[in-house]
Each structure stands twice: as structure tokens, then as C-alpha cells.
């Protein structure tokens, strides 16, 4: 989650020290919030206050934000990034060539060529079975309060915009025969955030960007997520001591290609702007702000939409 991750990694709360327990506490509080909102039906009512131009603006802004970050990552090695992007775009619609696996293989090969010591590092990867433990066993009330105030609450508008409204809109557009509701997504978000922190996991959410990335690279059924989940669980249980080495196999330019095309897919799927000038204006300013901060984009978009709707603002 963006707000929680930003504060936790940069210690942006100045004098407040963000401990692992504070992050676990934020996850638990986040889980309670979305489980209650979903179970009571409040999520749907809140979502109804958020117009479609705002939701579309958030999705478009996220898409462009991903693309810009992808370009920055590719810029660390323009030759590798450019060739990988060109090859991926040419093979993206191929049914015979699994472009994602090919892209990751090329990335791993490039990493080894650029840094031969990577081979010896890969050789140190070993199986070390490790089960998760109850993480917040020694959490204090102060840590829970810090996690709630500085992490969980600032995350709420971002989650509502990107991981509830936007992901529902994206899913129902891509898979109209398997539609979901804001209530269902909210309850799902609540459950996984109540479970994850207990096992030492970070707060999580569904995301329109993640869905766009999966679909762009060929995922069409829930089986893709089951495969991904099994891989991640196996790495966590048996290779937790080597995770950093495993991730180094994939260079930043290759990950930038994935992020760039994911953003393009996300923005492309939401380019149906409203018919009126007011709706288009709301979408544009929401998208522009969402590139920088989703939470502020959400607030600005909703406020602007209702001001225009009530005639308190004119274009």
C-alpha cells in the first residue's frame, strides 16, 4: 500500500519511529476498517458518492504514473530496456511465445553477463525451511496507535480509489461475465489484512494496476493467481534467506518494461471519458493529480465533481 509503504520506508513521520509492529498494527486496523465497511454495505454507499469520472481519472493517472516509473527504470540501461521493450511489444499478442517468461529469461541472462559474480551468488541460494510465527506478539498500544494514525488512516482514500472503486471498474470491464462488487472487494481486502500481519506480512490490497499487468501479459483466469501464489509461498517457506539474491536476477530495465506496459494497459482500458465538458475536466485533473498522489487526487476529484454538479463552479 502506497501511503503505508512511503511512511514506513522514509520515516516521514519525523520524530515518530515506525517499527515493524506499527506496520503490523496498521494492517490489522486496515483489515478491520474494510471488513466493517464491506459487511455493513457502507463501501457501496461511499463508492456511489464517487462519480465515474473520478474513478476513471484515478485509473488513468495510475497508468501514466506506472509508465513514467517504468521509463525511469529503463533509463538505467537504455540499450537493454529499449531492446526488451521493442521485443516485448512485437511478441505481446503471440499465442506461441510466452513473452513474460522470455522477458524474465533475457533479464536474468543480461544480469549474469553484466555481473558475472551473480552466478556465484545464485549458487549460494539454498533451501532453508522456515515457518512464519505470530508477528505482533509484543506489540504495544503506542505502536498500534502510531500504525493507526500515521499509516492506516492516510491509506484509506488511496485504497478506496485504487483498490476498491478502480479495481471493481477494471474487473467488470475486463470480465463482465465475472463481475464483482465494491462490497465483495472490501470484505476480501479486510480479511487478507487481518490475516497477513499476524504472519509478519505487510498490509495488502487489490489493485487495478496489478490486474492490468496480469491481463496484459496473458493471465485470463484465477489459475494465474493460484500459480503466482504457490510460487511466492514456496519462496517464503523454503528460500526466505535468499529472497534478495533471487530478486537481483531481474535487472531494473526489465522490470521497467513490465511496469511501462502495465501502465499502458491500465490507462488504455479507461480512456472512455464522459460526454460533457465537466466530466472530462474532472477526469483530467484527477488523472494529473493521481500521478503524484492518489489520495489527494481522490479528494480533489470528488470535490470538483460535486461543485460542478451543484453549479458552484463553472467552466
Per DSSP, the residues of 18-66 read --HHHHHHHHHHHHHHHHHHHHTTHHHHHHHHS-HHHHHHHHHHHHHHH
Cα first-last separation, the chain: 35
Q: Is residue 92 part of a domain?
A: yes
Q: Can you give the residue range of the structural domain that contains 288? A: 2-309
Nearest Cα residue to 30 out of 184, 273, 196, 274: 196
Report the alpha-carbon distance of residue 125 to residue 118 in Å, rounded.
11
Quote the number of domains for the chain: 1
Alpha helices in the chain (DSSP H): 2-10, 20-39, 42-49, 52-74, 78-91, 99-114, 117-123, 141-146, 153-158, 167-174, 182-195, 208-216, 222-238, 243-248, 252-268, 277-290, 294-309
Q: Is residue 181 part of a domain?
A: yes
Contact indicator for 287, 60 with CB cutoff of 8 Å: yes
Give the confidence band of 2 by pLDDT, cuts at 50, 70, 90.
Answer: low
pLDDT per residue as tens digits for the range 94-142: 777 788 888 989 888 988 888 888 888 888 888 889 888 888 888 999 9
> 13-22, 160-169, 211-220, 266-275 — which one is most confidently predicted on average?
160-169
Q: Is residue 315 part of a domain?
A: no
Compute the radius of gyration of the chain from its Cα atoms.
21
Q: How many CA atoms lie within 13 A of 300 on its CB side?
A: 18
Q: Is residue 199 part of a domain?
A: yes
Q: Is residue 126 part of a domain?
A: yes
Q: Is residue 231 part of a domain?
A: yes
Q: Is residue 88 part of a domain?
A: yes
**What's the pLDDT score for residue 245?**
84
Residues constituting the chain: 315
- Return the percentage of the chain with pLDDT > 90, whole number: 30
**Which DSSP state fits 14?**
T
Q: Is residue 115 part of a domain?
A: yes
What pTM value is reported for the model?
Answer: 0.72
Amino acid at each position: 500500500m502506497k501511503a503505508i509503504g512511503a511512511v514506513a520506508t522514509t520515516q516521514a513521520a519525523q520524530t515518530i519511529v515506525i517499527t515493524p509492529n506499527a506496520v503490523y498494527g496498521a494492517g490489522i486496523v486496515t483489515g478491520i476498517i474494510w471488513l466493517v465497511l464491506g459487511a455493513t454495505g457502507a463501501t457501496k454507499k461511499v463508492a456511489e458518492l464517487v462519480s465515474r469520472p473520478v474513478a476513471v481519472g484515478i485509473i488513468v493517472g495510475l497508468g501514466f504514473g506506472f509508465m513514467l516509473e517504468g521509463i525511469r527504470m529503463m533509463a538505467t540501461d537504455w540499450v537493454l530496456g529499449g531492446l526488451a521493450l521493442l521485443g516485448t511489444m512485437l511478441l505481446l499478442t503471440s499465442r506461441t511465445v510466452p513473452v513474460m517468461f522470455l522477458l524474465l529469461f533475457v533479464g536474468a541472462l543480461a544480469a549474469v553477463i553484466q555481473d558475472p559474480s551473480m552466478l556465484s551468488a545464485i549458487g549460494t541460494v539454498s533451501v532453508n525451511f522456515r515457518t512464519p510465527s505470530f508477528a505482533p506478539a509484543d506489540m504495544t498500544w503506542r505502536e498500534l496507535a502510531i500504525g493507526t494514525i500515521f499509516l492506516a488512516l492516510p491509506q484509506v482514500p488511496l485504497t478506496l480509489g485504487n483498490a476498491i472503486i478502480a479495481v471493481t471498474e477494471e474487473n467488470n470491464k475486463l470480465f463482465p461475465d465475472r463481475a464483482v462488487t465494491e462490497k465483495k472487494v472490501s470484505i476480501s481486502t479486510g480479511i487478507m489484512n487481518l490475516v497477513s500481519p499476524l504472519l509478519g506480512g505487510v498490509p495488502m490490497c487489490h489493485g487495478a494496476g496489478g490486474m492490468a499487468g496480469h491481463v496484459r501479459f496473458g493471465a485470463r483466469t484465477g489459475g494465474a493467481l493460484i500459480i503466482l501464489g504457490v510460487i511466492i509461498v514456496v519462496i517464503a517457506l523454503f528460500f526466505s534467506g535468499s529472497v534478495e539474491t533471487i530478486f537481483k536476477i531481474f535487472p531494473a530495465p526489465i522490470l521497467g518494461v513490465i511496469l511501462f506496459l502495465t501502465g499502458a494497459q491500465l490507462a488504455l482500458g479507461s480512456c472512455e471519458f464522459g460526454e460533457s465538458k465537466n466530466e472530462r475536466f474532472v477526469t483530467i485533473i484527477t488523472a494529473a493529480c493521481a500521478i503524484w498522489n492518489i489520495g489527494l487526487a481522490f479528494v480533489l476529484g470528488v470535490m470538483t465533481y460535486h461543485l460542478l454538479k451543484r453549479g458552484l463552479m463553472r467552466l
